[in-house]
């Protein structure tokens, strides 16, 4: 459980923390399970109506409120209006999480809708991954931002793709069908459509960072 101190009063934010952004609503069983089992659900203002339509009541709604009619806000929600236009609603949510010392969060609704918004969402994902542990889950797979040595569990035979995030990372892999040995990831297609040999693999990443996509089997 994440804890933060306000004055002399200790507050707690339960885990797992789930953030719903205003992209395509989740429909696959994996992201829906995560949504339905959130200990605290935080929505950008445009995603709050989506959450309600999916049968979930947001605990917190954060944003400039330009996409949310007051009549649609469930009365039990905490609404935090941040009217600044220098950052997106997703950035506002993640900045709030950082201020509350939230150690990790799962992001839903990052993909789909306007491509410029989607690309901005993943840029924000990359930026804030240095400040708290973030995982994105879509209808197609699970996405991590990797900038060091990490191990991952997955379904055997799952598609694994490595996509450039920052600089030109050097990558070694263990447990993938096509092994990488200190290879520099230079292009968007270089790391596409590898495959996990079993239910576990690891990556060693240096000199940059990457997005790791692991596909759902079903």
Tell me how far apart the alpha carbons of residues 83 and 60 are, in angstroms, rounded to a whole number.
16
pLDDT for res 5: 35
pLDDT for res 70: 60
pLDDT for res 112: 87
Domains detected in the chain: 2-139 (3.40.50.10240), 144-215 (2.60.120.320)
| Angle of helix 89-99 versus helix 115-128 axis, rounded to 10 | 20
User: In this structure, what token pair is assigned to residue 186?
Assistant: 């230079």
The beta strand positions in 149-190, using DSSP E, are 149-153, 159-174, 183-184
pLDDT for res 129: 97
Please report the sign of the dihedral spanned by the C-alpha atoms of residue 29, residue 202, residue 211, residue 37.
positive
Name residues of the chain where pLDDT drops below 50.
Answer: 1-10
Is 212:155 a contact under the CB 8 Å cutoff? no
Mention every residue, 6+ apart, whose C-beta is less than 8 A from residue 5: 11
pLDDT for res 113: 84
């Amino acid at each position: 459980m994440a804890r933060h101190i306000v004055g002399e009063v200790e507050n707690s934010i339960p885990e797992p923390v789930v953030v719903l952004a205003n992209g395509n609503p989740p429909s696959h069983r994996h992201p829906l399970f995560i949504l339905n089992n959130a200990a605290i659900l935080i929505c950008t203002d445009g995603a709050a109506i989506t959450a309600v339509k999916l049968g979930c009541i947001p605990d917190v709604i954060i944003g400039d409120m330009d996409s949310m009619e007051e009549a649609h806000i469930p009365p039990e929600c905490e609404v935090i209006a941040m009217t600044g236009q220098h950052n997106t609603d997703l950035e506002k949510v993640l900045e709030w999480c950082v201020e509350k010392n939230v150690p990790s969060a799962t992001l839903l609704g990052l993909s789909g809708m306007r491509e410029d918004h989607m690309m901005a969402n993943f840029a924000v994902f990359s930026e804030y991954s240095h400040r708290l542990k973030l995982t994105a889950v879509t209808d197609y797979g699970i996405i991590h931002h990797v900038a060091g040595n990490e191990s991952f569990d997955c379904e055997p035979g799952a598609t694994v793709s490595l996509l450039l995030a920052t600089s030109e990372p050097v990558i070694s892999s263990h447990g993938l069908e096509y092994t990488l040995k200190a290879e520099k990831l230079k292009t968007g297609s270089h790391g596409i459509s590898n495959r996990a040999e079993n239910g576990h693999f690891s990556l060693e990443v240096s000199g940059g960072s990457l997005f790791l996509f692991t596909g759902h089997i079903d």
